[in-house]
């Protein structure tokens, strides 16, 4: 078939994937951040707020990142985000207590994450064939999923022999390497020039057929926030499994799914593939809520990886399909922002629930979020697509 002959693996794709991998390794070293915060005297609620703070900063920078991408191009945002990442990783070495300076450093890292996440995924969307968009975005995303496992394992290894300061130094070195690796990137041809008048970030926010995607994206992220923010605390307090085990299973499942079955959504339908992915996220949280050993931790991680492994690229591809091509940078920035909004809202809410009840109850309650979101999306999206016909004709 013709679409299978269109190349995904090009030199720009390989370079961008390498940059994404290295930036992910630098970022996901901070999966162990809750342990460091515990040493500084933080409880579950403070942990949730610190994680949410980074997401808030990432959200705040998205309108600017989208505007710059659609104007000056993707490359300048990738480089600026890389510089901010190096600076933030270095400044963690200067933090000695829970306070204003930690807030500044965490916010700076959020600005870096917001710029890098949106610009690298926009770059990938520009250079993959339209007929293989979900597969291409999913394959590119492997370079971001692998660090979830390797970053956790790297943290386990470093902390087994040294301390958090050494972990921050390793992260700084990787962030610096990522910045150097991004220098050969060139502006993708599809991003040059304006194919239609750009309407901008806020227009994309209000676009009728994109609004259901913003909702389900944020709902999925609220559920994932329970995992990203509290698996470390769960492991430390209940002595069940390890962070490295959970996120290794998480990333391995997502990578196998994308490499072996990444073509499925483009063949059978994006939304048809989305709903099972959301169910997998819910199953992961239910299994984790009852986990008593390594097996359950691994199973929970695998289900989470299966869910995230399909949900993110499917929703990304839907955004690119429906957005004004001239606003692609703004639309993808907004899409990544709604994921961060879900983390921002979810982490402190989950933290408050864990403090009021316990971690197991919190994980179980979070399992209902993706299911409710899927039902709401199914109803809303059908109505939105009907209403959007005059708008896009």
Give the H/E segment covering residue 73.
none
pLDDT score for 1? 40
293 DSSP assignment: S
Separation in Å, CA 121 to CA 66, 199, 221? 12, 20, 17
Length of the chain: 393
Question: Domains of the chain by range and CATH?
Answer: 2-182+200-388 (1.20.1250.20)
Q: Residue 368: helix, strand or coil by DSSP?
A: helix
Question: Which pLDDT belongs to residue 43?
Answer: 73
- The predicted pLDDT at position 389 comes to 57
pLDDT for the residue numbered 190: 54
**What's the rounded Cα separation, in Å, for the pair 284 and 197?**
43
Contact 96, 134 (CB under 8 A): no
Task: Give the Cα separation of 258 and 255 in Å (integer).
Answer: 5
Question: How far is residue 69 CA from its own chain's centroid?
Answer: 19
C-alpha angle 348-351-352 in degrees, rounded to nearest 5: 90
Alpha helix ranges (H) inside 92-210: 100-127, 133-161, 164-182, 201-206
Confidence (pLDDT) at 90: 92
Report yes or no: 48 and 347 within 8 Å, Cβ to Cβ: yes
The number of beta carbons lying within 10 Å of the beta carbon of residue 98 is: 15
pLDDT tens, N- to C-terminus, the chain (393 residues)? 444 557 778 888 999 999 999 999 998 888 778 778 888 877 777 777 777 788 788 888 888 888 888 778 889 999 999 999 999 999 999 987 787 888 899 999 999 988 998 899 889 888 888 778 788 888 888 888 788 778 878 888 888 888 888 999 999 999 999 999 999 998 887 544 445 555 666 777 788 889 999 999 999 999 999 988 888 888 888 888 888 788 889 888 988 888 888 888 888 888 999 999 999 999 999 999 998 888 999 999 999 999 988 898 899 889 988 887 777 778 888 888 888 788 778 888 998 898 898 899 999 999 999 999 999 999 999 888 887 655 544
């Amino acid at each position: 078939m013709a679409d299978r002959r269109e190349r995904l693996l090009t030199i720009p794709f390989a370079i961008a994937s390498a940059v994404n991998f290295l930036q992910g390794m630098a970022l996901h070293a901070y999966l162990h951040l809750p342990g460091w915060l515990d040493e500084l005297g933080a409880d579950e609620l403070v942990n949730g707020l610190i994680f949410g703070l980074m997401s808030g900063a990432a959200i705040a920078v998205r309108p600017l990142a989208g505007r710059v991408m659609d104007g000056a191009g993707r490359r300048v945002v990738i480089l600026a985000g890389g510089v901010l990442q190096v600076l933030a990783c270095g400044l963690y070495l200067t933090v000695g207590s829970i306070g204003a300076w930690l807030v500044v450093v965490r916010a700076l890292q959020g600005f870096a994450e917001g710029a890098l996440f949106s610009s690298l995924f926009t770059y990938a969307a520009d250079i993959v064939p339209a007929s293989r968009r979900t597969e291409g975005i999913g394959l590119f995303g492997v370079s971001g999923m692998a660090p979830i496992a390797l970053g956790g394992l790297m943290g386990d290894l470093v902390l087994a022999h040294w301390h958090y300061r050494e972990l921050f130094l390793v992260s700084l070195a990787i962030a610096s390497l990522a910045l150097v690796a991004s220098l050969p990137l060139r502006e993708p041809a599809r991003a040059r020039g304006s194919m239609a008048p750009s309407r901008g970030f806020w227009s994309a926010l209000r676009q009728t057929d994109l609004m259901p995607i913003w909702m389900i994206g944020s709902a999925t992220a609220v559920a994932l926030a329970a995992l990203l923010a509290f698996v470390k605390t769960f492991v430390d307090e209940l002595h069940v499994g390890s962070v490295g085990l959970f996120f290794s299973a998480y990333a391995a499942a997502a990578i196998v799914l994308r490499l072996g079955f990444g073509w499925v959504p483009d063949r059978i339908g994006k939304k048809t593939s989305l709903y099972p992915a959301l169910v997998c996220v819910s199953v992961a949280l239910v299994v984790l809520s009852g986990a008593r050993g390594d097996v359950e931790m691994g199973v929970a991680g695998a289900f989470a990886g299966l869910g995230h492994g399909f949900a993110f690229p499917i929703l990304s591809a839907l955004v690119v399909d429906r957005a004004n091509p001239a606003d692609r940078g703004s639309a993808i920035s907004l899409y990544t922002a709604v994921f961060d909004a879900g983390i921002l809202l979810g982490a402190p809410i989950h933290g408050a629930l864990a403090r009021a009840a316990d971690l197991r109850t919190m994980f179980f309650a979070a399992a209902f979020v993706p299911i409710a979101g899927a039902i709401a999306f199914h109803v809303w999206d059908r109505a939105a697509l009907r209403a959007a016909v005059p708008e896009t004709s």
